[in-house]
Each structure stands twice: as C-alpha cells, then as structure tokens.
Amino acid sequence: MSFLTPLYLFGAALIALPIVLHLLRRDVAPSVPFTAVRLLRKSPVDRSRRHRLRDLLLLAARVIALLLLAGSFARPFVAGAPSTGRTTIVAIDRSFSMAVPARFERARALAREAIDGARGGPVGVIAFDDRADVVAAPGTPADARAALDTIAPGYGATRFAAALDKAAEILADAGRESRIVIVSDLQRSGFDEGGAVLPEGIDLQVRDAGAATTNLSVTNATIDRKQVVATIRNFGNVARTTDVHAVADGRMLTARRVTIPAGDAADVAFDTGSEAGRLTVGISDSDGYLADNERVAIAESRALPKILIVGGGPVQTAGFYFSRALQAEAEEGADFDVHTITGGAFTALTPAQVRDQSVIAILSTHGLDRRVGETLRAFLDAGGGLFIAAGQDMDPSVLSTLLGWQPPLAPRDARNAGVLAATDLRHPVLRPFDAVAANFGQVVFDRVWDIDAGSAWRVVARYTSGAPALAERIPDGAPRVTAGRVLLFTSDVDRRWNDFPLNPAFVPFSQEIVRYLGARPPAVSSYVVADAPPGVPARPGIVTAGNRAVAINVDPRESTVDRVTPAEFLTLVTRSSAAGAPRAVRLAQQTEGQQNYWRYGLLLMLATLVVEAFVGSR
Amino acid sequence: MPATTTSRDLRFLDPAVIAALGTMELKARTVVEGFLSGLHRSPYKGFSVEFAEYRQYLPGDDLSTLDWKVYARTDRHYVKKFEEETNLECHLLLDVSRSMSYRGGAALSKVEYGSVLAASLAYLMHRQRDATGLIEFDEKITGRLPASARPGHLHAILLALEKIAPGSRSSIERPLHQLADALGKRSLAVLISDLLDDPDRVVRGLKHLRFRGTDVIVFQVLDPHELNFPFKGASRFTDIESADEVTAEPSRVREGYLREISALTARYEKELRGAGIDFLMLDTSKPLDFALLAYLDARSRRK
C-alpha cells in the first residue's frame, strides 16, 4: 500500500483528540452544586458495564473515522496492481531516406516482429520524420498491424527526438511497464538537432532497417539573374557521373554531365538567356534517395516596399519631410522605396501601378478626381495601406467622397491644440516608443483638424486639447481579412501647422506608420518540407502560399548516408532521471486514479459516523 | 387555590420583576400592593370584605373615609375601612441554611424568595395591625426580632431580611423545639424553608409547635431545578451543605430523583395537614400570590 499524498497521514494524529476526551470524560465529570444530593444518592447511578462498552464503541468509531479520513486524504493505492502487461510503442521511420527500394518493406516487417513480441500487452504505433504522429494508440496487436499498413515514406527528414518525445508522452499516459521499439535506417543526421532524451525506466530497443548505400543529391539551386546554379553532392564512397538537367520558367535548358568525386560536391551553372523566375534542377540517381534528386527554386524578390506620396504642390517640396523620414537609411540601407507625385500624376496611374504600391500617403487632395476613388478602394480591398495627413491642401469632403466614407469626414479647424499624447501605447505604431513616448510632448501643434471619432475611428493618440491626433479607420460592416488599413494624422507633416518634422521622433513615427500600414520586408520564398507554411502540402515543389509562390524542397541533411549502429544509437539517447521522477509520480497518480480507494475510505468513514451517531443516541 | 390576581398585577408578583427592585421594603410593598389591587377586583370578596382596608364607595359612606390617593390613581372611589387592632402575634420563621442559598433556574435564590415572601407577609401583617416578629435559623436560631405592632417595627424586620447571609447546614427540628417553648399561645408561626432535612425530625418539631397551641403555616420553598432536575450530561453533583458528591448521568437518575422529591413533598403535606398545619409548596419561579392567599386563608380561619 502506497500513498499519493502521505503528508495527510499526519492528520491521523487527530485520533489523540477523542482518546484524550474519552479519558477525561471517564474520570472527570463537571461538578454541579446541588441541594438534594441526599435524594439523588438513592437513585441508581449509571456506571454499568453496558455503558462502559458503549463509550468504548463510541471511542473506537471516532478513532476509526479519523483514521479513514486521514487515509482517504492521503490517496492510498496499491502500486503495481493490477497490471495488464507491458505497453509497447513501435516508432517507424518514414523519412524520404526510407524510400530506397525494399527498405521500407523491411522496416515494416521489423515493426510487425516488434508488435508480435508485445507478449499480450497493448501496442501503439508512431510514424515519424521531422515530427511524430500517432498512427495507432496503445491497443491490440491487430490494430497496430493494421495501422502499420497505412504508413508510407514521405519527404521529411529523420528526427529521433520527435519520435522519442511522442513515445514517452504516450507511455506516461499508459502508466505501465513500457518499451519503445525504433525501426529506422538509423541515419546519423537524425541526431543533428540533439534533444533525444528518454526518461529512465522505459526499455528502448532499436531495429535497423537500413543498409550501406550511396546517394547523389541536388543540395542547392539558385537563380542569379540570367544564370542558374545547382549544387550536386556525392555522398557515396566512389566518384559518380550523372546528367544534370534544369527547367527554367518551363523551358528545358541544355543538360550537363558532371562527375563528382566521392564525398565531394560540384556546382553546375546554366545560362538561361533571360531573367528566370522559377527553376527546377534534377539528376539521375536510381541507387540513392529519390526525393533529393530534384530541387526547385524561385527568384528571390529584392524589391523594397513601395511608398507613394501624393502631394498637391510642386513635386520637389510636397511631402518633403515625410519622404526624407522614410528614406533615412539604416545600416543595411533604406527600408522603403519612396516616390512622390502630384495628385494629377496619381490620377494618371493605372490600377495595376497603384496595386504595386505597399502604402500610399495622401498629403493633398489637389488634382485628384473621381476615378482615383475606385482605384484607392480597390487598393485597400487588396490589402494596401493608406496614410492621410491633414494640411492646407487637404479637402476632407473630397477625401470622404473618394473613399466613400459615410458620414463624410467633417473636421473643425482647431488652433493651439497643445502637444501630442499617446492614448494607446499598445498600438503597433506607438508600441516601439514606449518609454520615449514623452518626446511627443516637445512638439507644439498650432493647427489641427478636430474630428469626431465616433464609431468610425479608433483613436491612437490625442492632443492635450483632447482632439484626436492619430486615428485608425474601423472597417465598415463585417471586417474583411484583406481589408487594408487607413491611418489619419490630423495635422500636417510638412511643418506648416507644427514643428513635428524637426523633432527626433518624426523619423521613427513616420517609419512605424508605413510599417504598420503594410510595408513589410520581402518574405522568405524557400522552405524545407518540415517548415512549409501552413496549408501547403508537405511535399517538394513550387506552390502558392497565400498570394505568393514559394519553393518547397526536402531537407538536404537527410541526404547523408552516414549511419549509426543500434548500440551507438542507445548511447546517443540521453536518459533523464529528472524526467523519470515526474513519470513515477504520474504513474502513481494514474494507478491511484484507477483504484480510487479514497472513495471507499470516505464511504466507510460515513458508515462509521452513522454507527457512532446510532450508538451515541442509545 | 384559584388564582386571584390579574395578569397585569401578576407582573408585580413575578420573582424576576421583584429581583430587579431595590430595597426589601420596595419589594414587599410592590408584592402586597399588587396582590391587594388584584384582590379588590377579584370575585373573592370574602377575603376582601373581611380583611382589606379598602372597599368600593357606596352611597351613604362617610366621605371622610374616601381614599383620594387611590381615586387619583385608579379614577375609582374606595373607602378606607380600618379594623380594630388585634392582639395576634405572627412569627416569621425563615430558614437561612446554606441549602436555601441555592439558585438554579429561577431569578431568585430560595432564601431571597423566602425573604421577599417574609417581607410581604410582614408588610401585610403590619397593615393589619398584627404584631409581627422574625426568626432566622439554620441549625440554630441565628437572629430574632420579637413580635411587635409598633410603627417602626416593620422597618426593622425589612432591614433584617435585607441583611440575611447564608448560614450553615440545616437542622430544622432543634430551632422549632426552642421556639415551641418561647412562643405564646394565640400566635401564628409561618415557617419558610426548603425542608430538605430528615422529614421525621421536621414533622416532630412542627408538631411540637402545634402542640403548644401555635397555629402553623409551612411554606416549602423549592427551586425549579430541584423540582424538575433538568440537568444533562454526566455530572458530579456536590451537596452545597455537606459537600457529599454523587457522579451520575442525569438522564438515568432523573426519574428516581423526581419520584423521591415528590414523595418527600407528599409526605410533608400528608403528615402536616394531619397535624392541623397548613402546608404549601412554592416554586421560586412562580409568583408569590399563592403564598399570600394561603396566609390570609389561615388567618381568616383562625378568627
């Protein structure tokens, strides 16, 4: 008999209470002054044996009730009973290296052997590569064998840590004597990321399904303007010759034959004649792993986010401070591609040219006509960002008409609005300022628009007069995922209504605004299978993720043929006693949870108290 | 004996109310006035006409006998009716032994209750112009005021009752024998005691008193706890006079005890009445009017 919370057993010391009370009561009754004791003496005084027995029964009942209470709170359980046999988890490797002819069949046979050796205990099956999935929860061998037939090699890379973690998690829930059988080709790269830790007490067995092999792999493919380069690596022990063929934007390039020494790599370049967007490079290697014989790539976009400033005055002065603030260079160069045009020039842009912009900053409505409205709304619907700053060339009614705002924006002209104060420091525009947000307090705003925010605008910052300073437009109707953001700054950014452009906070303020509005750095366009974006099939190829194309390739680390022996495998797995202790606790908790002896203890205690009440009332 | 006072008057006879009053004189006056007030309005005119100083005004009565104070208080006309002063000697015998100091479930201890009763009787007797005396005793006579009808004597009796202190253990027989020789004929002795003594000896002493020609009224004063034995839980009962102890489970001994105390009271009643002695058992939680009526009854028969 063991206890889950043995400290409660100290509560059993409370039995001293009824015992002491019993002893005190037996010998000492309270003294009661009385007069007719002479008459009382003649009455039979009750100290019969029957009542002494009753007192003893009461004492026993109270002591037993307290012992049962303490015992129940201590959560008793019988360790190791009842056991239904050893739980076995068979973890089978499904990385692309297992796709070598006959290798996976051998692995499946080894897994079946492991299932048969489960000696009647429950058997579960895990399929693993970069991640581990439970194919069959611990159950009957028949279910495990059936689940085994559904597993096939994929395109992932071997990560033994994932398999061991998942198996240990299942066994922690199973809570019995346990065993893990790893069936794999035992590539050494499976330990590259470390973390292969297993709690002590779990029997780990390894079945080698692999064999010495050779492999040629396309480990890299890049597009450099009119030239593409592929890196071919020979993982074998002898030099290999192979044909390398490439397809750029659907056009087959001239195949190249290359000989690669053992354990070495070679770069193969192809001239494409024009800038290529998509590339597929392949080799012929029927002896090695098939999945790494081909690699895809797309041209990396180096374009900076485009910011278009629409100003009403002469081109050389409109939005001068704002554009300079955005073009302030960091160490790696400017973050934005900024252009400034007049309203008339903006009207002449095609919708496609507008859509090409990340953020449009409208600092003047001068020269804008109705066509611009449709273009802007389409731009916003496509996720573009719009920045609007008040100013002497900004007509709020024109703006409302262009953007279809109902009710129209009707600001009051306000003077001496004070300084700017951040209202919502959690907003992404202001969050980076945090402790230095007080710098805004040095800027004096002589003239601003005092708008009625209502339910159409979310105010991010206000002037000390209370008028909104920076507000974000709340989308009309149901929020659309693709809806672009609109920010309104109610004073100008050209130093006519304030001296904000001279303040050190102006540059970061401007940059944070356009970043929030959608000017993101170029996105990564190349992934390995394990890191593919959500919603993308876990297989190599060029696919569309959201609104962009990405290249998915197999992990080149899986292409190695270097293997470990089963004995070496066991030494590479770290046994964790720290992880074992919680496991023992979990095991105890599960056993106790299955047995639930504490409930019987409490029921017995209640029964004892009923008996005590019955005897006490006699 | 039927109740003779209204509930409003009973309020002034309630021991709990009396216990809260100040001096013994005030207590006695409150009890007697309340009692008489009820008595005047009661249908038992027999006592009233024979005894009371007041009766309702009837046409033809001398207006000089009207009590204007009563009229002011009650808005009714009463006339004072003075009786001839008698030569009756009344002796109040109050047991002050330690058992009389017991107070269980009542507002007054037995000796306090007995004192108020004695004071009330003294007040009543004084109004009646009877010579009144007070004798306190435990196992011997511890205090004595001879019978007198002098105006200041009532005050002396009330003062003595106010200063009563618990004495030692009871032995009623001995003082009674002493008094039997000391009291004159044509006297009335009122014994106030719990009578928790050997009944043979108590009865013997009282019969001796009666044999000497003294009319005797016995008030046995008992506490509600002595009458009902309401104790719970095993207890060590300690006699407050003898320090004898009995450990008992009250639920087990209650029945036997009640039987014993009832038998004791019944025996007193039977033997004393047989000897021409009036006997009345008083519960200290109950009003005093029964006792006063018993006294009036005895006095009326004596006349």
Question: What does the pLDDT look like over B36-93, one tens digit per residue?
Answer: 766 654 443 333 334 445 667 777 777 777 778 778 888 888 776 544 445 578 899 9
Confidence of residue A234 (pLDDT cuts 50, 70, 90): very high
Burial of residue B187 (CB within 10 Å: 0-12, 13-18, 19+) is: buried
Asked if A89 contacts A167 with a C-beta cutoff of 8 angstroms, the reply is yes
Among chain A residues, CA nearest to B104: A34
Confidence of residue B4 (pLDDT cuts 50, 70, 90): very low
* The pLDDT of residue B55: 65
Shortest Cα distance, chain A CAs vs residue B51, angstroms = 38
Confidence of residue A176 (pLDDT cuts 50, 70, 90): low
Best residue in A40, A48, A54, A58 for a mutation probing chain B (most B CBs within 10 Å): A40
Spatial separation of the C-alpha atoms in residues A104 and A96, rounded to whole Å: 10
* The pLDDT of residue B38: 63
Mean pLDDT taken over chain A: 84
* The pLDDT of residue B45: 38
* The pLDDT of residue A112: 92
Spatial separation of the C-alpha atoms in residues A36 and A127, rounded to whole Å: 93
Residue A52, pLDDT > 90, answer: no
Cross-chain Cβ contact A37/B245 below 8 Å = yes
Q: Residue A546: how many CB atoms within 10 A of its CB?
A: 11
* Closest C-alpha to A471, from A454, A447, A496: A454
Best residue in B98, B193, B232, B237 for a mutation probing chain A (most A CBs within 10 Å): B237
- Residues A185-209 have pLDDT tens digits of 999 989 887 778 888 888 899 999 9
Confidence of residue A584 (pLDDT cuts 50, 70, 90): low
Best residue in B252, B262, B264, B284 for a mutation probing chain A (most A CBs within 10 Å): B252
What are the phi and psi torsion angles at B214 (to 5°)?
A: -90, 130
Spatial separation of the C-alpha atoms in residues A148 and A92, rounded to whole Å: 9
Among chain A residues, CA nearest to B100: A35
Lowest mean pLDDT of A96-105, A216-225, A432-441, name the range. Answer: A432-441
Cross-chain Cβ contact A33/B252 below 8 Å = no
- Residues B233-287 have pLDDT tens digits of 778 888 888 888 888 888 888 888 999 999 999 999 999 989 888 898 889 988 8
Shortest Cα distance, chain A CAs vs residue B53, angstroms = 41
Residue A388, pLDDT > 90, answer: yes
Asked if A268 contacts A258 with a C-beta cutoff of 8 angstroms, the reply is yes
Sheet with A31-34, edge to edge strand ranges: A31-34, B235-239, B245-248
- Highest average pLDDT, of A465-474, B2-11, B181-190, comes from A465-474
Shortest Cα distance, chain B CAs vs residue A69, angstroms = 28
Shortest Cα distance, chain A CAs vs residue B102, angstroms = 7
Q: What is the 3-state secondary structure (H, E, C) of B106-140?
A: CCCCHHHHHHHHHHHHHHHHHHCCCEEEEEEECCC
* Closest C-alpha to A573, from A176, A211, A167: A167
- Residues B99-132 have pLDDT tens digits of 999 998 888 899 999 998 898 888 888 877 788 8
Cross-chain Cβ contact B196/A38 below 8 Å = yes
Residue B302, pLDDT > 80, answer: no
Q: Using CB atoms, pick whichever of B194, B242, B257 lies closest to residue A40.
A: B257
Chain A hits for B255, Cβ within 8 Å: 43
* The pLDDT of residue A55: 80
* Closest C-alpha to A63, from A99, A129, A17: A17
Spatial separation of the C-alpha atoms in residues A276 and B66, rounded to whole Å: 141
A313 vs B92 pLDDT, higher one: B92
ipTM of the prediction? 0.78
Q: SS3 for A581?
A: helix
Asked if B212 contacts B180 with a C-beta cutoff of 8 angstroms, the reply is yes
* The pLDDT of residue A581: 54
**Which residues in A have their CB inside 8 Å of a CB on B?**
25, 28-47, 51
Shortest Cα distance, chain B CAs vs residue A47, angstroms = 8
Spatial separation of the C-alpha atoms in residues A606 and A600, rounded to whole Å: 10
Cross-chain Cβ contact A34/B256 below 8 Å = no
Lowest mean pLDDT of A46-60, A213-227, A323-337, A465-479, name the range. Answer: A46-60
Residue A106, pLDDT > 90, answer: yes
- Residues A551-575 have pLDDT tens digits of 899 998 889 888 999 999 999 888 8
Residue A593, pLDDT > 90, answer: no
Chain B hits for A46, Cβ within 8 Å: 248-249, 252-253
* The pLDDT of residue B42: 44
Confidence of residue B3 (pLDDT cuts 50, 70, 90): very low
What are the phi and psi torsion angles at B200 (to 5°)?
A: -60, -45
- Highest average pLDDT, of A76-90, A317-331, B1-15, comes from A317-331
* The pLDDT of residue A330: 66
- Cα A616 from chain centroid (whole Å): 63
Structure tokens of A558?
A: 């899986």
Q: What is the mean pLDDT of residues A128-151?
A: 90
Structure tokens of B139?
A: 């196992």
- Cα A554 from chain centroid (whole Å): 22
* The pLDDT of residue A100: 86
Best residue in A32, A48, A54 for a mutation probing chain B (most B CBs within 10 Å): A32
**Cα dihedral: A534, A539, A542, A548 (round 10):** 0
Residue A380, pLDDT > 90, answer: no
Residue A224, pLDDT > 70, answer: yes
* The pLDDT of residue B178: 85
Spatial separation of the C-alpha atoms in residues B39 and B9, rounded to whole Å: 10
* The pLDDT of residue A249: 85
The H or E element that residue A322 is part of is helix A320-327
pTM of the model: 0.42
Chain A hits for B170, Cβ within 8 Å: none
The H or E element that residue B159 is part of is helix B153-162
Spatial separation of the C-alpha atoms in residues A158 and A454, rounded to whole Å: 57
Cross-chain Cβ contact A44/B253 below 8 Å = yes
- Residues A498-550 have pLDDT tens digits of 989 988 889 999 999 988 887 665 566 788 888 888 788 888 998 887 667 88
Lowest mean pLDDT of A40-44, A84-88, A461-465, name the range. Answer: A40-44
Cross-chain Cβ contact A29/B102 below 8 Å = no
- Residues A108-128 have pLDDT tens digits of 999 999 998 887 788 999 999
Q: Which domains does chain A have, with CATH numbers?
A: 87-211+563-572 (3.40.50.410), 216-301+527-559 (2.60.40), 306-516 (3.40.50.880)
- Residues A239-268 have pLDDT tens digits of 999 999 999 888 888 888 999 998 899 999
Spatial separation of the C-alpha atoms in residues A176 and A158, rounded to whole Å: 28
Chain B hits for A35, Cβ within 8 Å: 99, 102, 194, 196, 223, 226, 239-241
Spatial separation of the C-alpha atoms in residues A109 and A148, rounded to whole Å: 10
A352 vs A482 pLDDT, higher one: A352
Structure tokens of B295?
A: 């006294």
Among chain B residues, CA nearest to A29: B235
Lowest mean pLDDT of A9-13, A331-335, A485-489, A609-613, name the range. Answer: A331-335
How many residues belong to chain A?
A: 618
Q: Beta B235-239 vs B245-248: how paired, if at all? A: antiparallel
Query: Domain extents for chain B?
Result: 24-80, 89-302
- Residues A136-145 have pLDDT tens digits of 988 888 999 9
What is the CATH code for B89-302?
3.40.50.410
- For residue A43, the number of C-alpha atoms closer than 13 Å in the C-beta half-sphere is 26
Lowest mean pLDDT of A22-31, A175-184, B34-43, B277-286, name the range. Answer: B34-43
- Treating both helix axes as pointing N-terminal to C-terminal, what angle do B153-162 and B110-127 enclose, rounded to 10 degrees? 180
Residue A297, pLDDT > 60, answer: yes
Shortest Cα distance, chain A CAs vs residue B230, angstroms = 12
Best residue in B96, B220, B253, B262 for a mutation probing chain A (most A CBs within 10 Å): B253
Chain B hits for A47, Cβ within 8 Å: 247
